Structure 1
Amino acid sequence: MSSLSGTEERVSMPLLNEPAPDFEAQSTHGPIKLSDYRGKYVVLFSHPGDFTPVCTTEIGGFAKYQEEFEKRNAQLIGLSVDSVPAHWAWIRDIERIFDVKINFPLIADLDLKVSRLYGMIHPAASNTSTIRAVYIIDDKGILRAVIYYPMSAGRNIPEILRVIDSLQTTDTTGYTTPADWQPGDPVIVPVTPTSGAIENEEEAKAKGLDYKSWYLRFKDDGRHS
């Protein structure tokens, strides 16, 4: 729980690879509970406020990619400290501006309960608004990734999809993904106690691997092998 220290407020942060804090909240889809989405990936994202320009483009962007999130069994959930009526008025304007349909819920976190639970209030950035944050929670309810953005920079929605693709590839195959990886690109065969290190290029080639060093071996995307 958050505590005060002088004039600053300490922010409690959920930790990666631990269960995501459960919550119940009012939203544009009525009362929702995080644990009700177990079995799906959840992308929980906060925005500083309704009827603000950068946030408007982001909600429109998430709406544009809704089908892509659905293909990955991922549920979008937005959040700000505004009310449900304000959310609905804003949604109608966003749908008009971008010619999209917003089918995911927006949480009305008026009491800051969820915002504080997830460390979305950063006093140095704003005392009254949530920062731009993205929390990727897997189908078992485990927090797998957190991404923060400054107030001035809108999010890159394809990058959030890419992170989900990477996590799901690792969950399915055990392989990890390199910088700038996209689905279909080669993946990394991690060095583990069971896999061991491959010390020479000939041995790697015999196993169908692209050998760069004893600790860096690539192979074709495991989902397509």
Structure 2
Amino acid sequence: MRLGATIPNFKSNTTKGPIDFYSWVGNSWCVLFSHPADFTPVCTTELGRIAVHFPFFEKRGVKLLAHSCDKLQSHIDWVNDIKSYCLDIPGEFPYPIIGDETRELAIKLDMIDEKDANNPEMAMTVRSLYIIDPNKKLRLSMQYPTSTGRNVDEILRVIDSLQLTDKMKVIATPANWVPGEKVMILPDVSDDEIKRLFPKGIDTVTMPSGCVYIRTTTNY
């Protein structure tokens, strides 16, 4: 799955009933993420922490959808373990988990690692995570090996960046940026445009090359 690709529609059974993806997601953003297997330690921490942070995704207009190649009943039983382990999950488990026993969807969405790419019967999903915008476009992809758990704060950070730069198309966010910190003005924005868009002024950095391309502001 390449950035900018349209996520194909699909129908799946989930722990919260059957869904038609396009109808279910509507005009929301979506984080669609796979995990290798139920009743495994790292996956338990991931789904638990994402559930704890559910209100932060909801605040950003983002729906959550998990995926695994295990059976639905296995998901349902495992959710009880996740809630027992992550005691700060408020109320009911907040998002659906897809059951993909045939691995058809995992293959369709390119969630299988290279060594199992030609062995669909044995292939298990890696830790794929797709951030999908309301136009069903893939905006960001994270691929983790089975041995490494994901960072939920980073997922929220990149959503904040994507949503901000969609709203203000003349900026980008620098390394380690978090909301409230300086953003960078794109190189193709002219000085006249900057004066109009940022009347309170901007900061520039003088570089040895003489090129002025580091322009930042907190006025956004």
- TM-score band w.r.t. shorter chain: 0.7 to 0.9
- Describe the superposition over 1:189-218 as per-residue Cα deviations: whole angstroms up to 9, x where unpaired: 1022xx2369xxxxxx98611102522210
* Alpha-carbon distance in structure 2 between the residues aligned to 1:207 and 1:120: 46
Where does structure 2 lack aligned partners over 5 or more consecutive residues?
Answer: 193-197, 207-211
* Alpha-carbon distance in structure 1 between the residues aligned to 2:9 and 2:219: 34
> Tell me, what secondary structure is at the counterpart of 1:78?
strand
Partner of 2:28: 40
Partner of 1:69: 57
Partner of 1:31: 18
- Describe the superposition over 1:95-138 as per-residue Cα deviations: whole angstroms up to 9, x where unpaired: 11112242100000111121011111114278431000100001
Partner of 1:156: 151
> Tell me, what secondary structure is at the counterpart of 1:124?
helix
> Tell me, what secondary structure is at the counterpart of 1:147?
strand
Contact 1:132 1:151 (8 Å CA) reproduced: yes
1:85 equivalent to 2:63? Answer: no
* Alpha-carbon distance in structure 2 between the residues aligned to 1:197 and 1:184: 23
Percent sequence identity is 39
Contact 1:197 1:215 (8 Å CA) reproduced: no
Partner of 2:9: 22
Residue identity matched to 2:33: F
Contact 2:116 2:123 (8 Å CA) reproduced: no
TM-score, with normalisation over the residues of structure 1? 0.84
TM-score, with normalisation over the residues of structure 2? 0.86
Contact 2:200 2:219 (8 Å CA) reproduced: no
Partner of 1:191: 187
Give 1:79 deviation, angstroms. 0.4
* Alpha-carbon distance in structure 2 between the residues aligned to 1:187 and 1:221: 9
* Alpha-carbon distance in structure 1 between the residues aligned to 2:158 and 2:199: 31
* Alpha-carbon distance in structure 2 between the residues aligned to 1:123 and 1:109: 19
Where does structure 1 lack aligned partners over 5 or more consecutive residues?
Answer: 1-13, 199-204
* Alpha-carbon distance in structure 1 between the residues aligned to 2:9 and 2:199: 47
1:122 equivalent to 2:117? Answer: no
What RMSD over aligned residues (CA atoms) do the two structures have, in Å?
Answer: 1.8
Aligned length: 201
> Tell me, what secondary structure is at the counterpart of 1:103?
coil
* Alpha-carbon distance in structure 1 between the residues aligned to 2:38 and 2:60: 27
